[in-house]
Structure 1
């Protein structure tokens, strides 16, 4: 073979090698077939030793299920996270500031006649003075609620040691009346003046803090010309604002007109709502 032929053969070999390399590179740049992933994760999933991919998670529900009041949940929308709604379709009637030796037995009788259970938020020193009324409230199946020892509207601003004594002593008086096994599940601050620290203190004692959704101001007689006007206004305000899940604020202490209000309201409410003592059941 001549020197010229040798050089031609070497040049041809170089061209062939270049074409081979270009062909291989072009093959690697080809897109994968439709539906086939070439990512490392996908390759690993096709490995015989890899675990099969997990099933996709189900989509989240469009809305959370209703929660009972005692679990908090969406019901906690009042001051400092206190609860304004029952968390169910049931309506809860609450009576504050008693027990009252005149009016509490009367409201208990009205509730008894209509087979309605309610929640009584009681002031500690009145519990001490009228334990027999607390026993009657519990015997009738109503829920007991701590409403502080002496209804200080600035309770949340008092020193922590006093607040602790106030709530504990009120519970002690309630249990002295009805026994230690009767639960006190709820606390309502005087005037609804909750703070995060007060709510936390109540919770540390096993009590959820309850606010309200409907306040007809049955204690406020100033806008009314007389008892009948006051009664009509309170009835109207409850009928206008109550809705499924409402917590209605009322008072049995020193409010005889409230007795008449509920004599008129209960038939109307029972035609439209389920009335339950807290905690409401799902």
Structure 2
């Protein structure tokens, strides 16, 4: 398990932007936009393996005000809308996807954004290859970058909830974690016109309260099968090797588009995505609502 000091350093960039790594991204070119892909059905797996085990991390740096997200249909803030469907609370996160037999399909996910330095380049690469991905966004990043959320939705990507400040939920009470999750739902809903259907706990640190609260808000919990560990900036070649070595039908790959210098993450995606496609993999997303 990685130590708290490294993880705290990973998160400090979420409080302010720097210009590091921008020069490495200038080779990305814009492309046309396309329609959404076929659906895939998620399946619950066993608990995460040691290689995908959650790392410890710092608790939320500050308390959040209660959210009006659940009150809107009652209190009349904005247009009337249906409440998100409550789901059966799981006891374990979904680790992989069930596809039809013989379907060589995988799911790419990106956490911690959106970051205006890196997310647009990732979106352009995905658009160039006509594939869809999932973005698990942090509310404190999303609130000032709603244009990027709208671009994700316009391109057919799925936007998931990754809390507001990226705390370790299993160190929090239900009342502490509620605004972290609800406020992020609210930002996503405001930006793209629908609440998120998927939720990922920071560091993969789940507990019963997180599962229940996510289900109450209509979100399925998604973990990952292959961790690129790109946030450690191990080198583009290492990121590419980890993804290609872990490629298999139903795999969910964890990447990051924020939380630090993500130039290697962008370069890694640019290198491994066409190779996956050449190897016959279909890069897709699960259907918008859970099972």
TM-score relative to the length of structure 1 = 0.68
CA drift of 1:98 comes to 0.1
CA distance in 2: counterparts of 1:175 and 1:278, whole angstroms: 19
CA distance in 2: counterparts of 1:160 and 1:209, whole angstroms: 16
The one-character-per-residue Cα deviations of 1:222-279 (angstroms, maximum 9, x if unpaired) are xx4xxxxx10011011111121000000001131111111111111111221110233
Show the counterpart of 1:241: 246
**Do the aligned residues in 1 keep the contact of 2:224 with 2:254 (CA within 8 Å)?**
yes
**Do the aligned residues in 1 keep the contact of 2:185 with 2:196 (CA within 8 Å)?**
yes
CA distance in 1: counterparts of 2:288 and 2:157, whole angstroms: 12
Alignment of 1:137-176 (within 5 A): 137-152=152-167, 154-176=168-190
Residue from 189, 197, 215 that aligns with 2:209: 197
CA distance in 2: counterparts of 1:98 and 1:190, whole angstroms: 12
User: Aligned pair 1:127/2:106, yes or no?
Assistant: no
Larger Rg: 1
**Do the aligned residues in 1 keep the contact of 2:197 with 2:288 (CA within 8 Å)?**
no
The one-character-per-residue Cα deviations of 1:103-133 (angstroms, maximum 9, x if unpaired) are 0000000000000100000001111111111
CA distance in 2: counterparts of 1:219 and 1:77, whole angstroms: 25
**Do the aligned residues in 1 keep the contact of 2:198 with 2:222 (CA within 8 Å)?**
yes
Q: Give the strand-richer structure, 1 or 2.
A: 2
Show the counterpart of 2:227: 215
User: Aligned pair 1:277/2:289, yes or no?
Assistant: no
Residue from 267, 270, 276 that aligns with 1:263: 270
CA distance in 1: counterparts of 2:139 and 2:184, whole angstroms: 4
Say if 1:267 and 1:280 are closer, same or farther in 2 by CA, change over 3 A: farther
**Do the aligned residues in 1 keep the contact of 2:186 with 2:195 (CA within 8 Å)?**
no
CA distance in 1: counterparts of 2:114 and 2:130, whole angstroms: 20
CA distance in 2: counterparts of 1:68 and 1:177, whole angstroms: 26
**Do the aligned residues in 2 keep the contact of 1:186 with 1:208 (CA within 8 Å)?**
yes
Structure 1 unaligned spans of 5+: 1-66, 225-229
Runs of 4 or more off by more than 2 Å in structure 1?
75-80, 278-282
Report 1 or 2 for greater relative contact order, CA contacts < 8 Å, sequence distance ≥ 6: 2
The alignment partner of 2:160 has SS state of strand
Residue from 176, 196, 201 that aligns with 1:184: 196
Structure 2 unaligned spans of 5+: 1-39, 49-90
CA drift of 1:198 comes to 1.1
**Do the aligned residues in 1 keep the contact of 2:185 with 2:195 (CA within 8 Å)?**
no
CA drift of 1:196 comes to 2.4
Aligned alpha-carbon RMSD (Å): 1.9
**Do the aligned residues in 1 keep the contact of 2:96 with 2:250 (CA within 8 Å)?**
yes
Q: Give the helix-richer structure, 1 or 2.
A: 1
CA distance in 1: counterparts of 2:212 and 2:196, whole angstroms: 16
CA distance in 2: counterparts of 1:78 and 1:125, whole angstroms: 29
